[in-house]
Amino acid sequence: MCGIAGHLAPDRKASGDKETVARICEHLVHRGPDDYGLVQDGPMALGHRRLSIIDLSSRAAQPLSNEDETIQLAINGEIYNFELLREELEEQGHVFKTDSDSEVALHLYEQEGIDFLSRLRGMYALALWDGCKKRLVLARDRFGKKPLYYHVGPKGIHFASEAQALIESGNFDKEADLEAIDAYLALQYVPTHLCAFKGVKKLPPGAYLDCRPGSTPEPKRYHRLKFEVRRDLPLSQAAHELRKLIEEAVRVRMISDVPLGAFLSGGIDSSLVVACMATQSRLPVKTFSIGFPSKDHSELTYARRVSRLYDTDHHEMVVDPDMVSIVPRLVRHYGEPYADTSAVPTWYLSRFTKQHVTVALSGDAGDEGFGGYTRYRYARIARMLLALPKPLPRWIHELLSRLPIHQLQPVRDFGRRLLESEATRYLGLIAHFPHDDRMQIYTPDMQKRFGRDLIAADFETRLRESPADAVGKLMDLDIQTYLPDDILVKVDIASMAHALEVRCPLLDQEVMSLAASLPSDMKLRRLTGKIVLKKAVQDLLPSEITERRKRGFALPIDRWVREDLWQLVNDMLLDTRARQRGIFDIPAVEKLLDLHRRGESRGLQIWNLLMLEHWYRTFID
């Protein structure tokens, strides 16, 4: 796990800008505090910050080169099938200089060209320079575990692992992209096809750029999850296959030359990862949990239950966050506006875990792969209701829409949008600011510019083009958007801010491929999710873990905004600078704050606005 950066000059005869790359790398030290490397070969300058995980020796420092030093590689991440690939490549005559996992990508490219990407099993963002062909290949893993930002301009192509590092290079003006801001307000994150900084782009998951000096490359996909349903596979066999794949995915992620452990929330996903680790480890697994003073917002009891079951070396921490001081840290590290409140506990959990280990396994991707989110149940209910004889669906819509806002708000929001498109219903359940709410707080200019809901239109297209079945389309949508742009961003930034590598067995390509091949009723039956996953691990975990209601990091955000952050919120959202941006109608923002002060739950929306204003002041102003 590391940070990468580079510059490709616009002319084959020009030189790569080592000074700029060095400056970018200075802002990536937290991702790789152990070593630093910088090479320049003609128009290419390539930099690397190293977090040593496999082969801790200096010979494994990056950028790595092939036998005749015509190819250079810098990679952020881990290749889990490196041992098998290395055996194969050595049989074909390749000579390795290190014992690292990264070097296999270098020789695999020599052997197979750009097709080497389809052979890699892992999480990575990589930059490979072929000096003979004057070719730069930038690539990102299948599901977007590791990030990669780039900018194409008159000075060539600049790229980096994090947005703020790229911006701090000083090679282009810092200007906000308002379409990205509109998307952020809806989603709490900026989706891959946009970037908050105008002119900066994000390489999509499962894609690569084939760059030459002076070119303007476009991303090319090398992977797309296939939703080709296997109807002949009974549940028992599917569970058996899944169990074997998960155990193997855990095994290869336990390869490390540094101390290793696991996040343990007490939910089914992290618990099954710990269970599989414990059955394959000679020593007690180190597990890490975080809780809050209020029992209503803590899951430590369940984590302790799993820890006792598998006799883990358990570490837990109760946190009462200093919200005023954590906000600027989050804003600075996330680079783009980001308002998922669970970034707060993930930040503290990562910092706590790093005190004991350098690698941690997590249970991320279980919900997207196996139907764990409540929104999938709502989607199934909507299809059932819409299939009723008319005018029953409209009557139900009118009845649910009249529920008091303080009671069953998700049900009320669902009812309001029952007769609308699938994408609008989805956004109504997950959005901080659905389109009608954004229109209420925007200035007239912003209302005119974003009168059409661009995010809903994009999601509608994705849903229409997805080959999955009815409910599977929403899971496919989440795997394309919410998983890489929210969940994986949250964990990558929070963990790498503390030089901690996090590995996700449930995101393994074989596990996800099997999940995509299963019909939705193996994941979601009636209103119960993760059916096949629970069956696969039923002998590993008690029912109080597998059957309990999903909570995630339940946070007292309404209280935090009303108490800890109230003065900061008023100072930042209502002052002169906020008024002059021309984005929000200030009286509408004042009304929003007043509603929250008087007891209405608007904490998430206010947190969203606070993080955005802080982002403007940190990066744009």
Q: CA-to-CA distance for 563 and 37, rounded, in angstroms?
A: 46
Lowest-pLDDT range of 82-86, 451-455, 556-560: 556-560
Q: Where are the alpha helices (DSSP H) in 253-391?
A: 268-280, 300-309, 323-334, 343-354, 366-370, 374-386
pLDDT at 402: 85
Q: Is the dihedral of CA 53, 57, 58, 59 positive or negative?
A: negative
For residue 298 the two structure tokens come to: 């803590």
Residue 321 has pLDDT above 80, yes or no: yes
Lowest-pLDDT range of 205-214, 261-270, 292-301, 574-583: 292-301
Residue 114 has pLDDT above 60, yes or no: yes
- If you average pLDDT over residues 200-208, what whole number do you get? 98
pLDDT tens digits, residue range 462-488? 999 999 988 899 999 999 999 999 999
Is the peptide bond preceding residue 63 cis, with omega within 30 degrees of 0? yes
The residues annotated with a catalytic role in the active site are: 2
For residue 226 the two structure tokens come to: 């296939």
Residue 297 has pLDDT above 60, yes or no: no
pLDDT at 293: 83
DSSP state for residue 223 in the 8-state scheme: -
User: Quick one: how many helices (H) and strands (E) in the chain?
Assistant: 29, 17
Position 405 confidence tier, pLDDT thresholds 50, 70, 90: low
Domain ranges within the chain, ordered by starting residue: 2-221, 235-370+488-546, 374-470, 556-621
40: left (phi > 0), else alpha (psi -120 to 50), else beta? beta
pLDDT at 400: 87
Max Cα–Cα distance, the chain, nearest Å? 74
Q: CA-to-CA distance for 590 and 570, rounded, in angstroms?
A: 9
Residue predicted with more confidence, 527 or 258? 258
pLDDT tens digits, residue range 42-72? 999 999 999 999 999 999 999 999 999 999 9
Residue 410 has pLDDT above 80, yes or no: no
Mean pLDDT score of the chain: 94
- If you average pLDDT over residues 507-532, what whole number do you get? 94
- If you average pLDDT over residues 226-242, what whole number do you get? 93
Rg (CA), the chain: 24
- Please say whether the beta carbons of 153 and 171 come within 8 A: yes
CATH architecture of 2-221: 4-Layer Sandwich (3.60)
* Cβ density class 401-424: b for 16+ within 10 Å, e for less: eebeeeeeeeebbbbbbbbebbbb
DSSP state for residue 201 in the 8-state scheme: E
- DSSP 3-state helix, strand, coil percentages of the chain (rounded to 5)? 45, 15, 35
pLDDT at 436: 94
Q: CA-to-CA distance for 277 and 257, rounded, in angstroms?
A: 16
Position 413 confidence tier, pLDDT thresholds 50, 70, 90: confident
pLDDT at 369: 96
CATH superfamily ID and name for 235-370+488-546: HUPs (3.40.50.620)
- Please say whether the beta carbons of 145 and 123 come within 8 A: yes
pLDDT at 553: 64
Position 340 confidence tier, pLDDT thresholds 50, 70, 90: very high
Relative to beta strand 44-50, strand 35-41 is antiparallel
Report the percentage of the chain scoring pLDDT > 90: 88
CA 86 to chain centre: 29
Report the percentage of the chain scoring pLDDT > 70: 98
pLDDT tens digits, residue range 422-467? 999 999 889 999 999 999 999 999 999 999 999 999 999 999 999 9
Q: CA-to-CA distance for 186 and 608, rounded, in angstroms?
A: 9
Q: CA-to-CA distance for 187 and 170, rounded, in angstroms?
A: 29
DSSP state for residue 117 in the 8-state scheme: G
pLDDT tens digits, residue range 606-616? 999 999 999 99
pTM, whole model, 2 decimals? 0.96
pLDDT at 323: 93
pLDDT at 554: 64
Phi, psi dihedral angles at 133 (to 5 degrees)? -95, 0
Q: CA-to-CA distance for 495 and 360, rounded, in angstroms?
A: 9
**What dihedral angle (degrees, nearest 10) is formed by the CA atoms of 395, 437, 424, 140?**
-160
For residue 519 the two structure tokens come to: 């019909």
Nearest to 534 by CA among 246, 284, 165, 197: 246
- If you average pLDDT over residues 105-132, what whole number do you get? 97
Cα atoms in the 13 Å half-sphere on the side-chain side of 253: 31
Residue 264 has pLDDT above 80, yes or no: yes
